Amino acid sequence: MQIDADSPNLDVLRACAVLVVLAFHTVGFFNRGLASNLGLEQLGRLAVLFFFVHTCLVLMLSLERQTAKFGLHNLHWIFMTRRVFRVYPLSIAVVLAVFLLGLPVAGPPWAMHPLHLTAQGLLANVLLLQNVTMSGSVVIPLWSLPYEIQMYLVLPAIFLLVRRFPSWRWVMALWAVSAGIAFCLSRLLVHSHRAYFEFAPIVEYVPCFLPGVVAYRLAATSRPRLPAFAWPLTLLGLALLSVLTHGRDHGWVICLLTGLAIPRFEPIKSAFWKSACHFIAKYSYGLYLSHIVSLWLSFTRLAFLPMPLRWAVFVTTVVGVPLTLYHSLEAPLIRFGNALVANFSQTGL
């Protein structure tokens, strides 16, 4: 049974991921030691890797719908145009706002500081090329976006490959090859000085994206047999496994297990949880990029306020800013990108 991009189970995955990142950064802002002792530092990174699995699966489904609507003609151009209008407007807005206002929100939440960018560094942040130019990110969650953009460049080719060799075993073989290459590369770089994990080569994260392709192929040939309530419990189990192993597998195996698990569960039917997770997932991109600014504003810039008021500001901004960004910037430009693609396809220009 084919999984749908609007599957409530995928909303659960994305909602859990962004909430874990928020929890890690919030607890870490006040007490890094506590965040580390609770395993939140490891879980925060794992949550980003869950984003990679989720994104890859959703985009494979998007490519399938795109092919059904437009055919294979201009596959890459149409796909990348839609991706550009989905990702860049909000990231550019955040980069320019932080840079022009001089907000000291670079670095981890327990050591936030202003980032004095060169013209090259600013351009790298705008274009999401920090891992290529070795430039710091003006706000720490921005580190993961270059890897997503770089993976987008090859996803259409992977989609065509999967169409040619549809068995999920071929995808598993592709994952195994990518994990082997990533492992060898990580061993070569283990003694090199890398100040931040966000500068790792894209090859190290490919085994975290490809499980989304594994889930895509499995969903087309298998039926969900496990009860819906076991899905969040499975995510919890994977999270505990990651903490207990201290991420020794770089998240590759955990991501693979996630991809293998996604198609196995019945969709969640609870109206409350479906609505709640869909709401969080819908605004998760804005929440992911803006919550560090909310932390700084609420607890550093407004430190003169009583703590209850600071928490009120934090809750208000951490909810209100993503909603505002989505409806004023994200959604309109997503629609514009879709209209541009549709017009191009109709006119053939």
Chain segment 77-122, per-residue pLDDT in tens: 999 999 999 999 999 999 999 999 999 999 999 999 999 889 999 9
| Residues 321-339 pLDDT 10s | 999 999 999 999 999 999 9
% the chain with pLDDT above 70: 94
Q: Name the pLDDT band for 6 (thresholds 50, 70, 90).
A: confident
Q: Confidence class of residue 5 from pLDDT cuts 50, 70 and 90? A: low
Mean pLDDT value across residues 165-169? 88
Residue with tokens 């075993």: 169
DSSP 269-294: --HHHHHHHHHHHHTHHHHHHHHHHH
Asked if 140 and 106 count as a contact pair (C-beta separation under 8 A), the reply is yes
Q: pLDDT grade, residue 2 (50/70/90)? A: low
> Which residue is listed with tokens 């609505």?
275
Please give the average per-residue pLDDT across 21-49, as a whole number: 94
- Residue 248: the pLDDT is 64
- Tell me the C-alpha distance between 160 and 166, whole Å: 10
Backbone phi and psi for residue 250, each to the nearest 5 degrees, phi listed first: 65, 10
How far, CA to CA in Å, does 305 sit from each of 293, 299, 302, 315, 338?
A: 17, 9, 6, 15, 44
pLDDT of residue 345: 72
Longest dimension (CA), the chain: 62
| Predicted model pTM | 0.93
Q: Please say if the pLDDT value at position 195 is more than 50.
A: no
The CA distance from 146 to 286, in Å, is 16
Start-to-end Cα distance in the chain: 37
In the chain, the percentage of residues whose pLDDT exceeds 90 is 79
For 18, residues 6+ apart whose C-beta sits below 8 A from its C-beta are 47, 51, 280, 281, 284, 287, 288
Select from 317, 289, 288, 323 the least CA-distant residue to 302.
Answer: 317
Q: How confident is the model at residue 192 (pLDDT cuts 50, 70, 90)?
A: low
Average pLDDT over residues 214-218: 95
Q: Give 3-state DSSP helix, strand, coil % of the chain, rounded to 5.
A: 75, 0, 20
249: pLDDT strictly greater than 80 = no
pLDDT at 245 (0 to 100): 86
